[in-house]
A and B are shown apart, each in its own frame.
Chain A
């Protein structure tokens, strides 16, 4: 079956013959027309003026079925929509391979019930675009100056992008890629439209002015400059000394602000912030800081994409003794401390490092490799005893924590795992470069904690 290319266009256009021969093309004016036909697209092309393109892209990304489709444009589009497209329409050959690659990733994606939720949609969208970076656009009319059009579309405008990002960061599904801006926001309404106002530190009145003053060296009198002026010369009103040269007769006190409401004289005014949206006032230090960043799918997000576990991630790992890194480190620390206190407690830690994953990934494709590794991890888990724990600190770094296992015990484990690795790539001439490291509690020095131990072992492997 050839690929379906859906073209949305305001006017009748004809793509070059190369596209027509390689793809089955269908022309539509609007999303509703296309939905009636019920054609599953391999790729979509949107062409027309910027308003039209913007409207179409937004409705495609908000669509319950087609939100993650490959979507290209043929004209220049406003910068704030760049995140919603997959770029300019490539030549047919490249388009073909992009569709194939997309299909591969789609096969690897474990389509659970979860894709109906916003979270599932986001993970699927990001999984299908491996190097995608979620970027904000700047809009001065927006209360927060920045918005994420893709997040708005995928959440179907159900909640604010920043709140959603906060929960995505908390669950470690996204990771930041680069800091774009850092801004202060109103603590009440999170608007960034703020105005900073100088006020009197004594009575908080707005009515202050800069008023140069003079300090007479002869008698020490300080007052505003106007009181010293007498027919073009400066004369101290108290001691009537003529003040002729700055530095030797007089100087300028640094208190040169004057409040017209309470007559207070001061060096530096206070600053208050007024929010333009909610009109509430606050002190500058009360403002909340908001980092504007680019985001991409995290390691954890990718694992969820291929295993289809979006909800209750921790409990599904529980039965397999697979725990989060933080918990693993915590347990390791506890064992370290216990073994130092009680000599009869021994344990071993065993690390498996896959050194040539990037090369193999190029060879078999990312998806197949991850599946392969996943099945390998499954096998290892079947070998594990009930109290054994495992975790992954990176895509290619697996750790096993084996309580009550001494040196000889570890060597047995080592042997069995190595045999498993050999089975893994029997049918291929490419070898998985797999390295192992182990340490038993007796080899760990007293200064080391879990983090240091893991870092040291990983350093030895790399």
Chain B
């Protein structure tokens, strides 16, 4: 009780009596000023540039309907895989859509295979839609599935999709329009959380997807420094995929592919990634906290594997161009890999150095700062980007917890990176069998 009272005194000293607040806040300057705020500012600058461009440029769109191949990597989705296929059959796109479903380890995943086969009679009801099922007897992982799909694909545009993700019916129409520009090699779109209402964990992730996957990616793509084309929803020009040899073995094949495309941008700065806000996908996120933590352990660990092991030599200004290089150094290395450890060290430092009331007061201030930041972003998001404002506004209630969630995610990120360094976590992935993973570059 006494500690809390003292904390309050400290806080009121700052706010009400205005004593020494400036030097105190300066303690956070290195973090906020150099790492986080600029990133948000740049990303939002991109968003505004996009909205301005879209509202002033009246797009002239003569019909452009190349054949499109949707490759779905399926594993143990079971009946749920039907939603994915049906949402693709339902596309309003007037061109031909070829759907290829690769079922990995088909003997173990008979329900998924059966669910796909049950759909075959319904294909005839949809004109210009075809469904090919590729049962893969030997399990080879996501990369092997994607490359198998790529070898069978006959469309000009190749969509790499997950079996647990479904799509708005304009997705193909909106995404394929970008490929009219011959320099566009990859497109992605917003990923929304389909099971947001399932638990608190999914609600928090839903908000995170809105602010990072939708707002963040849109802004970053506008200045042509997209961080990643997600594996569950990537749209590529097929000829370019053939050019760079498809997907490479190892975990985080999506980030690997993104970086390899970026490595062309030094020589070919005209190559472009695009973000299409109208190509919306809906995916399921982990409902249980433990599953969520496991997923992040893999994602964040793989980041280090990709940056530090696989592409150590590729990350240079001469190969990928200055803007990509600076962005990866800043966002990829500093923000995603160094900062989690800095936060942990800083926390320890503050606990040791500051008296407890001061420590708590500091944490409260940090919390309030991030709360404001989140609020501003969320309001901007609803006003400018959201395609379903009414539905999205429900996330408002979760905002007070969101800064705490973000903080926990950062700390966990440090754990994940340590796990990667100490245990070679990239070899322990559910995405592919061990014998496949160990063939990748270590």
Q: Which residues does A use to contact B, with CB under 8 Å?
A: 210, 212, 229, 232-234, 243-247, 256
Contacts and interface: CB of A to CB of B under 8 A. Distances in A.
Contact of B170 (A210, A232, A247): A232
B59 to A, nearest CB: 12
6 contacts: A232-B94, A233-B170, A233-B173, A244-B170, A245-B282, A247-B87
B280 interface: yes
A246 B87 contact: yes
Given A234-B169, A245-B168, A210 B83 contact: no
A212 B87 contact: no
A32 B257 CA distance: 90
Given A210-B125, A212-B125, A245 B169 contact: yes
Among B86, B94, B169, B173, which residue has the most Cβ atoms of chain A within 10 A?
A: B169
Given A244-B170, A245-B169, A247-B83, A229 B282 contact: no
B202 interface: no
Contact of B92 (A210, A212, A234, A247): A234
A229 B92 CA distance: 8
Contacts of A246: 86-87, 90, 169
A232 B280 CA distance: 15
Interface string B244-288: 000000000000000000000000000000000000101000000
B169 A244 contact: yes
B86 A244 contact: no
Among A229, A243, A244, A246, which residue has the most Cβ atoms of chain B within 10 A?
A: A244
A408 B282 CA distance: 93
B92 A245 contact: no
Interface of B: 83, 86-87, 90, 92-94, 125, 166-170, 173, 280, 282
A133 to B, nearest CB: 41
A24 B87 CA distance: 84
A243 B90 CA distance: 11
A232 B168 contact: no
A233 B86 contact: no
Contacts of B125: 210, 212, 256
B280 A244 contact: yes
Contacts of A232: 92-94, 170, 173
Contacts of B282: 245
A39 B416 CA distance: 106
A245 B173 contact: no
Contacts of A210: 125
Contact of B166 (A234, A245, A256): A245
B26 to A, nearest CB: 48
Contacts of B167: 245
A244 B90 CA distance: 10
A256 B169 CA distance: 20
B168 A244 contact: yes
A279 B214 CA distance: 66
Among A234, A243, A246, which residue has the most Cβ atoms of chain B within 10 A?
A: A246
A403 B168 CA distance: 88
Nearest to B282: A245
Nearest to B93: A232
Given A210-B125, A212-B125, A243 B169 contact: yes
A61 B12 CA distance: 121
Contacts of B166: 245, 247
